[in-house]
Amino acid sequence: MTGRPRQHFDAAYYQRFYCDRPVHDRRRIGPLATGVTGLCGWWGISLRSVLDVGAGTGLWRDWFAAERPHVTYRSIDVSEYACRRYGHEQANIYRWRPSTPADLVVCQGVLQYLDDEACSLAIGNLAAACGAVLFLEVPTVGDLDEVIDQDATDMDIHWRTGSWYRRRLGRHFQPIGGGLFVARTAGLNFYELERCG
Protein backbone atom coordinates (compact mmCIF):
# COMPACT_ATOMS: atom_id res chain seq x y z
CA MET A 1 0.00 0.00 0.00
CA THR A 2 1.38 3.41 -0.94
CA GLY A 3 -0.70 5.69 1.23
CA ARG A 4 2.41 7.44 2.48
CA PRO A 5 3.03 11.04 1.39
CA ARG A 6 4.75 11.44 -1.93
CA GLN A 7 8.11 13.14 -1.84
CA HIS A 8 6.98 16.05 -3.95
CA PHE A 9 4.53 17.48 -1.37
CA ASP A 10 7.25 20.01 -0.60
CA ALA A 11 7.84 23.72 -1.16
CA ALA A 12 8.31 23.19 -4.92
CA TYR A 13 4.99 21.33 -5.17
CA TYR A 14 3.15 24.11 -3.35
CA GLN A 15 4.82 26.78 -5.44
CA ARG A 16 3.82 24.99 -8.65
CA PHE A 17 0.20 24.11 -7.84
CA TYR A 18 -0.81 26.72 -5.26
CA CYS A 19 1.15 29.85 -6.18
CA ASP A 20 2.29 29.91 -9.81
CA ARG A 21 -1.04 28.95 -11.38
CA PRO A 22 -3.42 27.77 -8.68
CA VAL A 23 -6.53 25.77 -9.49
CA HIS A 24 -8.05 27.15 -6.27
CA ASP A 25 -7.44 30.47 -4.57
CA ARG A 26 -9.27 32.70 -2.07
CA ARG A 27 -11.46 34.18 -4.78
CA ARG A 28 -12.76 30.72 -5.78
CA ILE A 29 -12.96 29.14 -2.32
CA GLY A 30 -15.06 32.01 -0.92
CA PRO A 31 -18.19 31.31 -2.99
CA LEU A 32 -17.71 27.56 -2.58
CA ALA A 33 -17.50 27.78 1.23
CA THR A 34 -20.47 30.18 1.26
CA GLY A 35 -22.51 27.73 -0.81
CA VAL A 36 -21.58 24.65 1.21
CA THR A 37 -22.32 26.30 4.56
CA GLY A 38 -25.47 27.88 3.16
CA LEU A 39 -26.83 24.49 2.14
CA CYS A 40 -25.96 23.10 5.56
CA GLY A 41 -28.06 25.90 7.06
CA TRP A 42 -30.91 25.20 4.63
CA TRP A 43 -30.90 21.56 5.74
CA GLY A 44 -31.04 22.60 9.40
CA ILE A 45 -27.46 21.61 10.25
CA SER A 46 -25.95 23.83 12.88
CA LEU A 47 -22.27 23.99 11.95
CA ARG A 48 -20.24 23.96 15.13
CA SER A 49 -17.17 22.07 13.88
CA VAL A 50 -15.24 21.57 10.66
CA LEU A 51 -12.46 19.16 9.76
CA ASP A 52 -10.36 20.10 6.73
CA VAL A 53 -8.53 17.05 5.35
CA GLY A 54 -5.57 17.92 3.14
CA ALA A 55 -5.85 21.57 4.10
CA GLY A 56 -2.95 22.75 1.92
CA THR A 57 -2.48 26.50 2.14
CA GLY A 58 -5.41 26.93 4.54
CA LEU A 59 -7.94 28.59 2.24
CA TRP A 60 -10.95 27.08 4.05
CA ARG A 61 -9.42 27.97 7.42
CA ASP A 62 -9.04 31.59 6.35
CA TRP A 63 -12.64 31.72 5.12
CA PHE A 64 -14.02 30.27 8.37
CA ALA A 65 -11.86 32.61 10.45
CA ALA A 66 -13.30 35.60 8.57
CA GLU A 67 -16.90 34.49 8.00
CA ARG A 68 -17.70 31.96 10.75
CA PRO A 69 -15.25 32.60 13.60
CA HIS A 70 -17.48 30.78 16.10
CA VAL A 71 -17.02 27.47 14.24
CA THR A 72 -14.32 25.16 15.62
CA TYR A 73 -11.93 24.46 12.76
CA ARG A 74 -9.37 21.65 12.65
CA SER A 75 -7.00 20.97 9.77
CA ILE A 76 -4.77 18.07 8.84
CA ASP A 77 -2.36 17.50 5.99
CA VAL A 78 0.03 14.72 5.07
CA SER A 79 2.74 17.16 3.95
CA GLU A 80 5.37 18.02 6.52
CA TYR A 81 6.05 21.23 4.60
CA ALA A 82 2.37 22.29 4.57
CA CYS A 83 1.96 21.54 8.26
CA ARG A 84 5.02 23.56 9.18
CA ARG A 85 4.27 26.44 6.79
CA TYR A 86 0.49 26.68 7.22
CA GLY A 87 -0.05 25.35 10.74
CA HIS A 88 -1.90 22.04 10.28
CA GLU A 89 -1.67 18.80 12.22
CA GLN A 90 0.30 16.21 10.29
CA ALA A 91 -1.83 13.14 9.61
CA ASN A 92 -2.68 10.81 6.76
CA ILE A 93 -6.43 10.20 6.42
CA TYR A 94 -5.99 6.59 5.37
CA ARG A 95 -4.54 5.81 8.82
CA TRP A 96 -6.06 8.56 11.00
CA ARG A 97 -9.50 9.42 12.30
CA PRO A 98 -10.51 11.95 14.96
CA SER A 99 -11.92 10.96 18.33
CA THR A 100 -15.14 12.90 17.64
CA PRO A 101 -16.81 13.63 14.29
CA ALA A 102 -17.11 17.12 12.81
CA ASP A 103 -20.36 18.54 11.48
CA LEU A 104 -18.66 19.30 8.15
CA VAL A 105 -15.68 17.52 6.62
CA VAL A 106 -13.86 19.11 3.69
CA CYS A 107 -11.69 16.82 1.56
CA GLN A 108 -10.50 18.63 -1.53
CA GLY A 109 -7.83 17.17 -3.80
CA VAL A 110 -6.67 14.34 -1.52
CA LEU A 111 -8.00 10.89 -2.43
CA GLN A 112 -6.45 10.80 -5.89
CA TYR A 113 -2.98 10.58 -4.31
CA LEU A 114 -3.77 7.32 -2.51
CA ASP A 115 -3.63 3.86 -4.06
CA ASP A 116 -6.86 1.83 -4.13
CA GLU A 117 -6.43 0.12 -0.77
CA ALA A 118 -5.38 3.30 1.06
CA CYS A 119 -8.16 5.28 -0.63
CA SER A 120 -10.78 2.76 0.49
CA LEU A 121 -9.49 3.02 4.06
CA ALA A 122 -9.49 6.82 3.80
CA ILE A 123 -13.14 6.85 2.73
CA GLY A 124 -14.01 4.78 5.81
CA ASN A 125 -12.08 7.24 7.99
CA LEU A 126 -13.83 10.20 6.34
CA ALA A 127 -17.15 8.56 7.20
CA ALA A 128 -16.08 8.11 10.83
CA ALA A 129 -14.95 11.76 10.91
CA CYS A 130 -18.20 13.12 9.44
CA GLY A 131 -21.17 13.86 11.63
CA ALA A 132 -23.33 15.37 8.90
CA VAL A 133 -21.88 16.64 5.60
CA LEU A 134 -18.81 15.83 3.51
CA PHE A 135 -17.64 18.14 0.75
CA LEU A 136 -15.48 16.03 -1.55
CA GLU A 137 -13.54 17.02 -4.62
CA VAL A 138 -11.56 14.37 -6.48
CA PRO A 139 -10.84 14.13 -10.22
CA THR A 140 -11.85 10.99 -12.11
CA VAL A 141 -11.03 9.61 -15.54
CA GLY A 142 -14.36 11.03 -16.71
CA ASP A 143 -13.05 14.54 -15.98
CA LEU A 144 -9.94 14.29 -18.17
CA ASP A 145 -11.30 15.55 -21.49
CA GLU A 146 -13.47 18.52 -20.55
CA VAL A 147 -12.97 19.46 -16.90
CA ILE A 148 -9.30 19.13 -15.96
CA ASP A 149 -6.93 21.99 -16.73
CA GLN A 150 -3.88 19.84 -17.37
CA ASP A 151 -1.52 22.84 -17.17
CA ALA A 152 -2.65 23.69 -13.63
CA THR A 153 -3.40 20.21 -12.29
CA ASP A 154 -1.03 17.59 -10.94
CA MET A 155 -1.56 14.74 -13.39
CA ASP A 156 0.65 12.29 -11.47
CA ILE A 157 -2.23 10.75 -9.52
CA HIS A 158 -4.36 7.60 -9.38
CA TRP A 159 -7.01 7.96 -12.08
CA ARG A 160 -10.15 6.05 -11.13
CA THR A 161 -13.73 6.02 -12.38
CA GLY A 162 -16.53 7.89 -10.68
CA SER A 163 -18.32 4.59 -10.13
CA TRP A 164 -15.30 3.30 -8.16
CA TYR A 165 -15.68 6.21 -5.72
CA ARG A 166 -19.48 6.09 -5.66
CA ARG A 167 -19.51 2.40 -4.65
CA ARG A 168 -17.30 3.06 -1.65
CA LEU A 169 -18.86 6.38 -0.65
CA GLY A 170 -22.37 4.93 -0.98
CA ARG A 171 -21.76 2.61 1.98
CA HIS A 172 -21.57 5.64 4.26
CA PHE A 173 -23.10 8.64 2.47
CA GLN A 174 -26.11 9.81 0.49
CA PRO A 175 -24.88 11.86 -2.51
CA ILE A 176 -26.68 15.18 -2.81
CA GLY A 177 -24.79 16.73 -5.74
CA GLY A 178 -22.21 19.42 -6.17
CA GLY A 179 -19.61 17.34 -4.32
CA LEU A 180 -21.80 17.13 -1.22
CA PHE A 181 -22.44 13.86 0.59
CA VAL A 182 -24.61 13.53 3.69
CA ALA A 183 -23.71 10.93 6.30
CA ARG A 184 -26.33 8.18 6.38
CA THR A 185 -26.15 8.37 10.17
CA ALA A 186 -27.16 12.07 10.16
CA GLY A 187 -30.87 11.25 9.87
CA LEU A 188 -31.59 13.90 7.22
CA ASN A 189 -34.34 13.46 4.63
CA PHE A 190 -34.28 14.94 1.14
CA TYR A 191 -36.74 15.29 -1.69
CA GLU A 192 -36.20 12.73 -4.41
CA LEU A 193 -34.85 15.25 -6.90
CA GLU A 194 -32.42 16.65 -4.35
CA ARG A 195 -30.70 13.28 -4.13
CA CYS A 196 -28.34 11.81 -6.69
CA GLY A 197 -29.37 8.24 -7.39
Which class in CATH covers the domain with range 26-184?
alpha beta
SS3 of residue 31 by DSSP: helix
Q: Tell me the pTM.
A: 0.92
- In whole angstroms, what separates CA 4 from the centre of its chain? 18
Beta carbons of 76 and 55 less than 8 angstroms apart: yes
Beta carbons of 93 and 53 less than 8 angstroms apart: yes
pLDDT, tens digit only, all 197 positions of the chain: 455 445 568 777 767 677 666 567 778 899 999 999 999 999 999 999 999 999 999 999 999 999 999 999 999 999 999 999 999 999 999 999 999 999 999 999 999 999 999 999 999 999 999 999 999 999 999 998 888 877 777 788 899 999 999 999 999 999 999 999 999 999 998 999 988 86
Where are the domains positioned within the chain?
A: 26-184
